[in-house]
């Protein structure tokens, strides 16, 4: 852990997520019981960046939805800073794969939606919303509607909106999955820059191995059917990390994850 | 320039239709008594105008359609909100409303006359009933099928239930509600004519029925053309308005 990180986590040890013995079961449309997530323990250190990687349908989004308060655990507990999660809470922000911007509001209107909970004055609301858009490089598109923006721009507005509500924990559900490779690289840089400035605890769900290793301090690997965590490790590679200049840790980690995913896939078919 | 061009195209297309109509009416294929020429229809319109009936019929019919439309759509939106948002109203009303839906407005006219007489209330009843069902169905459907991610996003951004309702649920359902109103407006005209054809003494529908008794097809055509123009105009107004109201749908 760097000195900066250390001082930050001492300064504001908030955004700690603790998951104990979590399991989540659903009833399938045929009435059968489906185990989406099998007994899982997981801890997100305050201010850390954690990736949760696994194949599609392995239950990684379900874990994220449970931390967000969108689905209830069947057993076990989820606590954010010692408080049990009972429903959606602005302390826990979510960035969705499909952006979930409100198309009837402009870019700045979407950010203001998040800021309204602070009951600011008109001018302060406008100022902070504009500031948030400037941080993601969209200060000049404030009055554009989501329908007028590209996918990358939409996700930047969504980032600005979520950070504007000042969450202690940020959950990201394959946020860049729908973007092309170049846009994704610049989104990674942007996300890390904002994360560095805010030091929110981030849980980043993805099925992209490189993405997980480029962004995170710690990686959890999941397997499917039923979803469970099969491995977790620290990512030692120095930041900033660039995808075309990876070090030996990166290569070793990539091989490790890929092997795990391949094995668990082979087991499941 | 563009809109002038568009109007020009429409006029050109319509004059083509009128020309063919005219040729057809003058040919020996039809009896001119039963199939009038455009000129005869124009003269009938002038005659109705001179008798003071053209304007007064239009006025009466439009007023009926407007009152029925506003009553029906207001009820449709309110009940639609209730059935979509509260389990009790959904339980109490949805099966009944689903049974009402297939009953055409015209089947209701005899009942309306017995209940309300041949005065205005029976027309308002038939029209608002028809409009209500269309608007209710669309409102209910629109509010029920709001994308979960919108609601999840709103809640995790700390929106209260009130803010969620006004800033997310209503705008998300707006395209459906507006589509329901547009459909309601078209149905208001259908119901209007159904109500006026029997048991009334004024209005475009009544004038059509009256012309039948004197085999005045030229007067009938005046009524039909009036209904066509009114309906098309109204739809145009609704499309223009909905583009403004749900502008984000047209980006």
- Let me know whether A113 and A82 are in one domain: no
User: Is the predicted pLDDT of residue A1 greater than 60, yes or no?
Assistant: no
User: Is residue A262 assigned to a domain?
Assistant: yes
User: Is residue A213 assigned to a domain?
Assistant: yes
pLDDT of B182: 94
Residue of A nearest to B160 (CA): A117
Strand order in the sheet with A83-84: A33-44, A17-27, A75-80, A83-84
User: Is residue A188 assigned to a domain?
Assistant: no
- Let me know whether A54 and A176 are in one domain: yes
User: Is residue A247 assigned to a domain?
Assistant: yes
Structure tokens given for A99 = 């952006």
pLDDT of B191: 92
User: Is residue A57 assigned to a domain?
Assistant: yes
- Let me know whether A20 and A67 are in one domain: yes
User: Is residue A119 assigned to a domain?
Assistant: yes
pLDDT of A94: 96
pLDDT of A11: 45
- Let me know whether B16 and B51 are in one domain: no
Q: Among residues of chain A, what percentage have pLDDT more than 90?
A: 59
Put simply, the chain B residues between 174 and 233 with a CB less than 8 A from any chain A CB are 174
Closest CB to A96: pick one of B149, B158, B247.
Answer: B149
- Let me know whether B16 and B87 are in one domain: no
Q: Which of A166, A193, A220 is the last residue of a domain?
A: A166
Helix, strand, coil percentages (3-state) for chain A, rounded to 5, are 40, 25, 35
Instruction: With beta carbons under 8 A apart, name residues in chain A contacting B153.
Output: 94, 96, 100, 102
B150 touches chain A (CB under 8 A): yes
* Peptide linkage before A240 cis (omega within 30 of 0): yes
Task: Identify the H or E element spanning A70.
Answer: none
pLDDT per residue over A73-112, tens digit each? 999 999 999 899 999 999 999 999 899 999 999 999 999 9
Burial class, B98, CB count within 10 angstroms (exposed 0-12 / middle 13-18 / buried 19+): exposed
- Let me know whether A236 and A259 are in one domain: yes
Please judge whether A100 and B149 are an interchain contact, meaning their C-beta atoms are less than 8 angstroms apart.
yes
pLDDT of A5: 47
User: Is residue A196 assigned to a domain?
Assistant: no
- Let me know whether A132 and A23 are in one domain: no
Q: Mutate which of A113, A161, A200 to disrupt the B interface (most B C-beta within 10 Å)?
A: A113
- Let me know whether B8 and B121 are in one domain: no
DSSP secondary structure code for residue A165 in this structure: T
Please tell me whether residue A186 adopts helix, strand or coil conformation.
helix
User: Which domain CATH number covers A14?
Assistant: 3.40.50.300
pLDDT of B201: 86
Mean pLDDT of chain A: 88
pLDDT of A9: 44
Reported residue count of chain B is 251
Pairing assessment for the beta strands A92-95 and A169-173 based on DSSP bridges:
parallel
Q: Minimal CA–CA distance to B118: which of B63, B205, B211, B195? A: B195
The domain total for chain A is: 2
Q: Minimal CA–CA distance to B173: which of A106, A104, A95? A: A104
Please tell me whether residue A219 adopts helix, strand or coil conformation.
strand
CA A58 to CA A134: how far, in whole Å?
A: 37
pLDDT per residue over A43-76, tens digit each? 999 999 999 998 887 888 999 999 999 999 999 9
Pairing assessment for the beta strands A33-44 and A49-53 based on DSSP bridges:
unpaired
- Let me know whether B73 and B21 are in one domain: no
Q: How far is A225 from chain B (nearest CA, A)?
A: 25
- Let me know whether A59 and A175 are in one domain: yes
- Let me know whether A86 and A210 are in one domain: yes
User: Is the predicted pLDDT of residue A8 greater than 50, yes or no?
Assistant: no
pLDDT of A13: 63
Range of the domain at A118: 95-166
Sequence-distant (≥ 6) Cβ neighbours of residue B208 within 8 angstroms = B193, B196, B197, B219, B220, B223, B224
Closest CB to B153: pick one of A89, A100, A148.
Answer: A100
Sequence-distant (≥ 6) Cβ neighbours of residue B141 within 8 angstroms = B176
- Let me know whether A26 and A52 are in one domain: yes
Are A56 and A36 in contact by the 8 Å Cβ rule? The answer is no
* Peptide linkage before A226 cis (omega within 30 of 0): yes
Residue A24, strand partner residues: A37
The domain total for chain B is: 2
- Let me know whether B214 and B132 are in one domain: yes
Low-confidence stretches of chain B (pLDDT < 70) are 1
Residue of B nearest to A91 (CA): B156
| Beta strand ranges found along B70-127 (DSSP E) | none
- Let me know whether A33 and A82 are in one domain: yes
- Let me know whether A119 and A140 are in one domain: yes
Please judge whether B149 and A146 are an interchain contact, meaning their C-beta atoms are less than 8 angstroms apart.
no
User: Which domain CATH number covers B53?
Assistant: 1.10.3720.10
Instruction: Return left, alpha or beta for A89; rule: phi > 0 is left, psi -120 to 50 is alpha, else beta.
Output: beta
Range of the domain at B95: 37-250
Are A46 and A12 in contact by the 8 Å Cβ rule? The answer is yes
CA A219 to CA A238: how far, in whole Å?
A: 15
- Let me know whether A143 and A175 are in one domain: no
Sequence-distant (≥ 6) Cβ neighbours of residue A98 within 8 angstroms = A178, B149
- Let me know whether A119 and A84 are in one domain: no
CA A63 to CA A53: how far, in whole Å?
A: 12
């Amino acid at each position: 852990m760097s000195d900066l990180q250390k001082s930050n986590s001492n300064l504001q040890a908030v955004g700690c997520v603790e998951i104990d013995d979590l399991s989540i079961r659903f009833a399938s449309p045929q009435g059968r019981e489906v185990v989406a997530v099998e007994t899982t323990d997981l801890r997100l250190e305050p201010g850390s960046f954690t990736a949760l990687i696994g194949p599609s349908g392995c239950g990684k989004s379900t874990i994220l939805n449970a931390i967000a308060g969108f689905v209830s655990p069947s057993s076990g507990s989820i606590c954010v800073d010692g408080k049990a999660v009972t429903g959606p809470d602005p302390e826990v922000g979510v960035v969705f794969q499909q952006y979930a911007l409100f198309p009837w509001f402009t870019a700045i209107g979407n950010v203001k939606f998040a800021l309204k909970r602070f009951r600011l004055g008109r001018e302060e609301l406008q100022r902070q919303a504009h500031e948030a858009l400037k941080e993601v490089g969209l200060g000049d598109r404030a009055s554009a509607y989501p329908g007028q923006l590209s996918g990358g721009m939409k996700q930047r507005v969504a980032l600005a909106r979520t950070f504007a509500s000042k969450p202690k924990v940020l959950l990201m559900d394959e946020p860049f999955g729908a973007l092309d490779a170049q846009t994704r690289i610049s989104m990674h840089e942007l996300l890390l820059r904002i994360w560095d400035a805010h030091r929110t605890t981030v849980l980043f769900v993805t099925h992209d191995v490189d993405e997980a290793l480029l962004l995170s301090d710690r990686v959890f690997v999941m397997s499917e059917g039923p979803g469970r965590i099969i491995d977790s490790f620290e990512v030692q590679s120095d930041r900033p990390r660039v995808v075309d200049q990876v070090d030996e840790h990166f290569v070793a980690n990539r091989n490790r994850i890929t092997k795990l995913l391949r094995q668990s896939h082979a087991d499941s078919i | 320039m563009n809109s002038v061009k568009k109007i020009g195209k429409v006029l050109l297309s319509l004059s083509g239709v009128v020309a063919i109509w005219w040729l057809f009416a003058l040919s020996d294929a039809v009896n001119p008594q039963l199939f009038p020429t455009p000129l005869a229809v124009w003269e009938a319109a002038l005659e109705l105008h001179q008798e003071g009936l053209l304007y007064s019929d239009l006025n009466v019919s439009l007023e009926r359609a407007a009152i029925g439309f506003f009553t029906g759509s207001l009820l449709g939106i309110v009940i639609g909100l209730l059935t979509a948002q509260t389990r009790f109203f959904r339980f109490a009303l949805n099966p009944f409303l689903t049974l009402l839906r297939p009953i055409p407005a015209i089947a209701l006219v005899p009942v309306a006359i017995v209940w309300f007489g041949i005065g205005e209330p029976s027309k308002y009843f038939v029209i608002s009933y028809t409009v209500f069902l269309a608007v209710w169905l669309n409102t209910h459907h629109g509010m029920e099928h709001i994308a979960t991610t919108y609601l999840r996003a709103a809640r995790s951004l700390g929106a209260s239930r009130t803010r969620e309702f006004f800033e997310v649920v209503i705008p998300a359902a707006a395209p459906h509600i507006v589509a329901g109103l547009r459909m309601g407006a078209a149905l208001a005209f259908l119901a209007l004519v159904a109500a006026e054809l029997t048991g009334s003494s004024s209005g475009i529908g009544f004038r059509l029925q009256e012309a039948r008794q004197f085999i005045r097809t030229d007067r009938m055509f005046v009524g039909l053309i009036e209904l066509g123009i009114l309906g098309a105009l109204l739809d145009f107004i609704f499309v223009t308005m909905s583009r403004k109201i749900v502008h984000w749908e047209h980006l």
